[in-house]
Structure 1
Amino acid sequence: MPCAAIDLFCGIGGLTHGLLLSGLQVLAGIDIDGTCQYAYETNNQAVFIEADVAQLPSDIISNIYPNGLIRVLVGCAPCQPFSRYTQRYRKEGHKGDKWRLLYAFADKVRDIMPEIVSMENVPELAAESVFNDFKAALIEMGYYVSWKIVYCPDYGVPQSRRRLVLLASKLGEISLIDPQYTPETYLTVRDTIGNLPPIDAGQSFEEDPLHCSSRLSLINIERIKQSRPCGTWRDWDAALQLNCHKKESGSTYPSVYGRMSWEEPAPTITTQFYGYGNGRFGHPEQNRALSIREGAMLQSFPYDYKFLPFGARLSKKELGIHIGNAVPVNLGRAIGESIQRHIGEVAENG
């Protein structure tokens, strides 16, 4: 039973690449950010369409699917409005239109009626009315729906990220495959980036421009020298501690300016993972923050995934956003394998 997928809000292709690794054909990715096109198309056998998913006519998407295939529609609508890193949205009400994009996803499903749907997002979305509305819409359209909060190391992602994964099918009951790793076999920071050549803060590896790290001020160099894996800023001499740390309000953020541990999965890779002061993004033993390449590999992108054309200007901020916002590739692979298993079961049962 051949099938093919289209990836909404595709970014640089984390979900698409995982689906491809699972053996699932991906026809196209759609995203409003045209700067993602190079990475998406260079690494994946799929076409990038620069468009606002909410405004793109559904028949354009529908017409991409060849006749006679099981149609799969997947996507990760921008999660910033629901993330725990943007609590202000829940204090002040949702700002802007990004939080409405899950409704746009539901509209596309209603117009296209693909046989299988998958949606991935932050766990906090489960507490939002827009998620309940999304599920209710799918059920009303005749889909079998399942969802769960996933601990990403269970599926080969070397970071302690949790994500919400929803699967829906018109063909029958569908669910995510069982975890593929256990705490004893979780991929660690050492497993993932331990073989990369050492570099200093502010330097890059000549053979791979993306293996580059941000500069550190003299005081931050002293801070990271006094940091230990899984430690906190409380390990520093008092003279190195920031005034905000000494306030009661600052005591709840001990991981800021922290080092990762070689023997554990990394913390959640955010869009600012390349900054030492933005979380526990200090290298386990080198006195620097993560390089761009290391952040990508901890998101389970392959080492040879290409993010920029040769000789292009490298912007850590732009690449940080691209990589940090991506669906981890190995989680995408697990989603693809779940879809493949489901289709196989449907075929077996006639």
Structure 2
Amino acid sequence: MKLDLLGGITAQQFLDEYWQQKPLLVRQAFPNIKTPFSPEELAGLTCDTETSSRIIIEHGKTPWQVKHAPFTEKDFTSLPDTHWTLLINDLEHYYPELQNILQKFRFLPDWRIDDLMVSYAADQGTVGPHLDEYDVFLIQLEGKRRWQLDSDVDTEKLVPDISLKILEEFTAENDWILEAGDMLYLPPNLAHYGVAQGGCMTYSVGFRAPDREALLSAWLDEFNEHPELNQRYGDAKRQIQPSASEISQRDIQQLKAMMRNMLDDNGGLFESFLARHLSESAATAFSLEDENPSFEEFTDYLKNPTKRLTWIEHENGLDVFIEGNALPMPLSHKEALITLTDSMEYNAQTIAELIQADPIYLELMGTLVAQGFFISADIE
């Protein structure tokens, strides 16, 4: 199905031709997009809660001054009229209804989504020319922002003596002005430079991928919890070699095979580790929890934006994980699990109809509410 969100191409065509390869500009990907908060409300949020947020001021006390939350009212009243930006991560945690934005991108798996960040910038506000190691969809929410791209930069040449990784040299290859509703997709490691044209707001939907070092470190921690899987190198029927100091190619290949067996020959442990590990979202000081998490009929429910659920299927059932907590389920729950995790919100009538059609939904809703994956819509 062709999607207006992606400029009239299918999700698969986007994945084949653009994802992690080249940028895509879509005019009016979000027509009539609404702003659910004011700049003043965003500022208040960073003063009242433990948000992951920062203010970046160009030509402040230093060429690129960075302040980190928590902020006070004075931090905002003392800002200059231009050349500053407020960035707030995990915005969907504080405004759960913004999960409807994330829902648009669920042709990609949930474990790849990092967060929804908002940038509010005064005129000429910017974080400088830089590149990121992750995919991002930039959605213009309010006002205008100029975006320039450069695919051929020297990543080693950074502005010296500052905490930000700002590129020292940048030559624009593309130059676009985004207005409210426009969207720009950027693959990883593509240099970009956004500058506010008057006051503006921009959403950034970020997609992080686990890096090899972090994944290997986490897997070794898991593997070490199972000493029964450990094994020593064996070399029965080995051949005489000309030099005792040489490590033969045969030995190298067998040692590689032993290491690969850590992933393949473990009774499904690695698959379960992956599902659990990828269900663990980044730590945050903010949480949304019902005081008494138990399913109640005639109640509207939202997916908890601070919780992530993953699952894998094997011949004996489903291994379901919510924030690293295991919930084994029978295969008979698969269809209901897919249905219930396919949307970010459910009204009471829809839930009642599902339960009436199949009692499995009652059991599963009870489990997901008890685990905090679904929360009452009234908790907002």
| TM-score normalised according to structure 1 size | 0.27
Higher RCO (CA 8 Å, separation ≥ 6 residues): 1
| TM-score normalised according to structure 2 size | 0.26
Higher strand share: 2
